[in-house]
Amino acid sequence: MALIELRSIKKVYRQGDLEVEVLKGIDLTVKRGEFISIVGPSGSGKSTLMYILGCLDRPTSGEYYLDGRNVLNLPDEELSKLRAEYIGFVFQAFYLIPYLTVLDNVLLPVGYLPKEERKRRFSDQPPHEKAVKLLTRLGLGERLHFKPEELSGGQKQRTAIARALINSPEIILADEPTGQLDSESSREVMKIFKELHSNGKTVIVVTHDMEIAKHAQRIVKIRDGRIVE
């Protein structure tokens, strides 16, 4: 069953009288439990596509169905709920809050869940306990009360992955997740994504690096705002 379905997605940015068409009619289906990579050079439109997939931006035209629901006409509040329930984000720049501990950074997304949904998702295990277990599983059990500035790049990205997983989302959406990491840390992060996929998560990695893209089941190549392969 398709978890994500994009139909004729276009995105146009306007700067005064100038129009720049960044996405030029994207059709893409992602099945539940699939691991795909979206790969393309700088300026290809892959980051814009990622933001639309993550419900962080809206296309100019087209249709987007997430788990059978057309999300494009939803108000911002409903989109926020949808993001909190369905999508865990991992970004190249980590986006950890510098004055919060590792543990508190991981717990941040819990507050975005609607109250009843929060009760349902954490009925068997309180958020704090789950966060500790996630961080321990990712090798950060000794870093719970560290601040981001005290972590290596690989440790920051593993913290970001734990944060993405805390709400048990259907989809892990990663934008250049190894862009600031050395080779060893990059391999470590991709190993985590492969484990998440083997445990049933839908994983989408956006990258310019074909070596990273090859870890996925399926590679989607984008160039000049179009899917070319």
Q: 63, 55 in Cβ contact below 8 A?
A: no
pTM score over 0.85: yes
CB-based contacts of 83, cutoff 8 Å, min separation 6: 54, 55, 56, 112
CB-based contacts of 160, cutoff 8 Å, min separation 6: 90, 91, 94, 95, 96
pLDDT tens digits, 177-228 = 888 888 888 888 889 899 999 999 999 999 988 999 999 999 999 999 999 9
**What per-residue string of b and e applies to 71-82 under the rule 16 or more CB within 10 Å gives b?**
bbebeeeebebb
Question: What is the architecture, at CATH level 2, of domain 34-57+73-227?
Answer: 3-Layer(aba) Sandwich (3.40)
CB burial of residue 171 (10 Å; 0-12, 13-18, 19+): buried
Q: Which amino acid is at 113?
A: L
pLDDT tens digits, 3-53 = 999 999 999 998 888 999 999 999 999 999 999 999 998 889 999 999 999
